[in-house]
Amino acid sequence: MFDNGIFFTILGAAIATVLAGIGSAKGVGSAAQTSMGVLSEDSSMFGKMLVLTLLPGTQGLYGFIVGFLILVSSGVLSGTPNVTLVQGFAYAGASLAIGFGGLFSGIAQGKAAVSGIAMTAKDEKNFSKGMVSVTLVEIYALLAFIVSLLVVIQVSNFAA
C-alpha cells in the first residue's frame, strides 16, 4: 500500500492547503466581524477596513500555492505520478512549514488586524500604525512559505 509516495504526497498537499486555509479563515473571519461593526457606524472607512481584513487571507493563498506545486511537481495532476516513498515523505514534510506556519500566523494576524481596525476606528490617522503591526505577522507566514517552497523545488532531486 505504501510502496510508493503518492499517499504522502497527496497528504502533504492537503496539509499545506487545509491548515493554512483554516488559519486564514479564522483570521479573516475575526477581522471581518470587527470591520462590519466599524462600517455600520462609518461606511466611508470601507477601503481601510477591507485592507486590514484581507491581510490574514494570504496564508491560505501560500498554502494553496505549496499544495498546488506539490501536485504538479509530483505528477499527480498530470496523471503520471512517479514518486518514491522518500519523495512522498519529503513532500509531506515540506507541507508542515506552511501548514502550521499558516495556521498560527493566520490566526495571529487576524488578532492583530482586529486591533488595527479598532485603532483605526477611533482615529483614521492610526491606519498606518495598524498596517505595520499586521504586516509584521506576515513575515512569519512568508518565512514558512519560503521553506516549504524550497523543499518542494528540491524533492525531485531526492533519491529513493
| In the chain, where the domains are located | 6-157
pLDDT band at 160 (very low <50, low <70, confident <90, very high): low
Q: What is the pLDDT of residue 2?
A: 53
Q: Compute the distance between CA of residue 62 and CA of residue 18 in angstroms, rounded to an integer.
A: 11
**Nine-digit cell string for 6:** 503518492
DSSP state string for 14-41 = HHHHHHHHHHHHHHHHHHHHHHHHHHHH
- Each residue's pLDDT tens digit, 40-78: 999 999 999 999 999 999 999 999 999 999 999 999 998
CA angle 48, 52, 54 (to 5 degrees): 115
- Each residue's pLDDT tens digit, 89-116: 999 999 999 999 999 999 999 999 999 9
DSSP three-state, residue 137: helix
CA angle 49, 52, 53 (to 5 degrees): 80
Superfamily classification of domain 6-157 = lithium bound rotor ring of v- atpase (1.20.120.610)
